[in-house]
């Protein structure tokens, strides 16, 4: 039986035409050289964004940095993997491929304030990174280098989404800071741009700024009050038997909103533990973003109810006491201890989801369903990097005991900050405004509870 082949079937799996595939593109050596530069920009972008999360006052910028640091970590690992596929042994990727490029990226870390931070990355460096990815697509062969092109095309799409946010945020600040944009641009030109092929021998650069030690003191913008009012009844009320489901659900939404203090804390140990493998930063970068996303869930749910969520005293006690009064590994362990406290059925994530269902709040139930799902991943991350072979080799009991000890010690450290604001009781009035009735909580439930280990 004879078979005829129909005309018009796209050749080469639809990647390109024969003519396009017949073009000589980048040699592997040049390809790898460029990928190393792109990787280093992504890796330093990750660090520069994550280390600024606590000290950035603007709530919306904190949230975006929380997302973008994880995306940069993921893209960096993808580029590392592709380089290792093309060269054996793989070149070292924990060192800068070009001192001039590294100097430029270090100057971005010297940004002073939010506007300069946004200018550095969303006004200068990420646009240059996007151009580097575009040029890579133009210069490499679409058939022989399809694996790289697939990776680069995906990165380019994602970077474009980041840039859209960044441009809008810069517009809110009145545009990029022109002086700092020119400062960084000089260093980037001296490095030959992202690809390195546009280098000139004599490019005048200004005097480098000193790169400051990152400040991990958590800061909020002027829309928020109660940063140092460490009285937060929702930590207890969400699981209180004497409180009705509607009020417990409201407490849950306030707890979710407060979770911005978790990325504010996590950012410090993620930034300071630079000796850990790239996968460490992908895993904890993802968890950091998840915690910021949980805070956004609370923000959305409260706003949907017509509640001014900025009026809630969102204290910074958790990040403040751990960032300034505990070591990086202690903070990581403390996070693990909190994750374990969320496992019991009576007080953990299942009960939070069931509380939202009992309250008849479909949106809260939807959010807590996914919040619960995220904790499954977070438990795995903690096991891998603290208890597992890739981690610190701790036993479960050692990690939990350390977590309890760090909690007790750092809670006491908050004494030096309490005098900055009155430790007022605010929940009863909040319930009146939000629910239209009196709280069912007991007076003793409306004050600080230092024994609570919670996020």
Distances (CA, A) of 408 to 48, 148, 319: 31, 50, 14
Q: How far apart are CA 300 and CA 297, in angstroms?
A: 5
Place of tokens 């909040």: 430
**Domain spans in the chain, listed from the N-terminal domain onward:** 24-190, 234-446
pLDDT at 359 exceeding the cut of 90 = yes
Radius of gyration in angstroms for the set of CA atoms belonging to the chain, rounded to a whole number:
25
pLDDT mean across residues, the chain: 94
Mention the CATH class of domain 24-190. mainly alpha
pTM of model > 0.75: yes
Q: How far apart are CA 216 and CA 51, in angstroms?
A: 7
Helix (DSSP H) and strand (DSSP E) numbers for the chain: 19, 0
Structure confidence at residue 345 as a pLDDT band (50, 70, 90): low
pLDDT at 155 exceeding the cut of 90 = yes
- For the segment 208-233, the average pLDDT, to the nearest whole number, is 96
Candidates 267, 123, 97, 98; CA nearest to 184 is: 123
Structure confidence at residue 453 as a pLDDT band (50, 70, 90): low
- For the segment 183-210, the average pLDDT, to the nearest whole number, is 86
Structural element, H or E, at residue 294: helix 278-304
pLDDT at 107 exceeding the cut of 90 = yes
Q: What is the share, in percent, of the chain residues with pLDDT greater than 90?
A: 88
For residue 445, the model assigns a pLDDT of 87
- For the segment 296-319, the average pLDDT, to the nearest whole number, is 96
pLDDT at 264 exceeding the cut of 80 = yes
| Under 8 Å between Cβ of 248 and 33 | no
pLDDT digits 0-9 by tens, 281-294 = 999 999 999 999 99
Would you tell me how many other CB atoms lie within 10 Å of the CB of residue 383? Answer: 16
Instruction: Give exposure, 191-230, as e/b (b: 16+ Cβ within 10 Å).
Output: bbbbbbeeeeeeeebeeebeeeebebebbbeeebebbbbb
- For the segment 360-384, the average pLDDT, to the nearest whole number, is 95
| Under 8 Å between Cβ of 49 and 69 | yes
Q: What is the share, in percent, of the chain residues with pLDDT greater than 70?
A: 96
Distances (CA, A) of 357 to 11, 170, 194, 434, 455: 54, 40, 51, 19, 21
pLDDT digits 0-9 by tens, 41-99 = 999 999 999 999 999 999 999 999 999 999 999 999 999 999 999 988 999 999 999 99
pLDDT digits 0-9 by tens, 125-143 = 999 999 999 999 999 999 9
For residue 451, the model assigns a pLDDT of 55
- For the segment 28-42, the average pLDDT, to the nearest whole number, is 97
Structure confidence at residue 198 as a pLDDT band (50, 70, 90): low
Structure confidence at residue 405 as a pLDDT band (50, 70, 90): very high
């Amino acid at each position: 039986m004879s078979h005829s082949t129909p005309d018009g079937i796209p050749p080469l799996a639809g990647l390109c035409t024969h003519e396009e595939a017949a073009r000589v593109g980048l040699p592997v050596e040049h390809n790898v050289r460029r990928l190393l530069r792109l990787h280093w920009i992504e890796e330093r972008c990750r660090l520069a964004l994550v280390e600024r999360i606590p000290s950035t006052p603007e709530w919306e910028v904190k949230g975006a940095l929380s997302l973008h640091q994880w995306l940069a970590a993921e893209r960096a690992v993808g580029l590392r993997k592709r380089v290792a596929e093309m060269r054996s042994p793989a070149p070292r990727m924990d060192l800068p491929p070009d001192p001039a490029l590294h100097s430029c990226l270090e100057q971005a870390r010297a940004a002073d304030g939010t506007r300069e931070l946004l200018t550095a990355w969303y006004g200068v460096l990420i646009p240059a990174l996007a151009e580097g990815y575009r040029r890579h697509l133009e210069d490499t062969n679409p058939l022989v280098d399809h694996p790289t092109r697939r990776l680069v095309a995906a990165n380019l799409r994602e970077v474009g989404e980041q840039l859209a946010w960044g441009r809008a945020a810069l517009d809110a600040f009145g545009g990029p800071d022109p002086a700092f944009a020119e400062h960084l641009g000089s260093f980037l030109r001296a490095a030959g741009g992202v690809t390195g092929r546009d280098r000139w021998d004599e490019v005048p650069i200004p005097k480098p700024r000193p790169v400051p030690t990152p400040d991990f003191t958590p800061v909020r913008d002027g829309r928020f009050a109660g940063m140092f009012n460490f009285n937060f009844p929702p930590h207890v009320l969400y699981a209180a038997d004497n409180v009705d489901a509607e009020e417990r659900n409201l407490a849950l939404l306030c707890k979710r909103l407060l979770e911005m203090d978790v990325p504010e804390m996590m950012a410090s140990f993620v930034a300071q533990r630079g000796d850990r493998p790239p996968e460490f930063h992908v895993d904890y970068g993802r968890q950091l973003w998840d915690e910021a996303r949980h805070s956004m869930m609370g923000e959305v749910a409260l706003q949907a109810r017509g509640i001014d969520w900025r009026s809630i005293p969102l204290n910074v006690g958790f990040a403040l006491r751990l960032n300034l009064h505990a070591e990086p590994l202690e903070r990581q362990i403390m996070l693990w201890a909190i994750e374990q406290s969320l496992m019991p059925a009576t007080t953990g994530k299942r009960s939070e989801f069931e509380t939202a269902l009992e309250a008849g709040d479909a949106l809260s139930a939807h959010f807590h369903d996914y919040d619960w799902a995220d904790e499954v991943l977070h438990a795995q991350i903690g096991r891998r990097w603290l208890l597992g072979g890739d981690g610190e080799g701790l036993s479960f009991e050692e990690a939990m005991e350390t977590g309890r000890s760090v909690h007790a010690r750092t809670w006491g450290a908050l004494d030096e900050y309490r005098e900055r604001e009155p430790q007022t009781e605010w929940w009863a009035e909040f319930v009146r405004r939000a629910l239209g009735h009196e709280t069912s909580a007991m007076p003793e439930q409306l004050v600080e509870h230092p024994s609570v280990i919670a996020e």
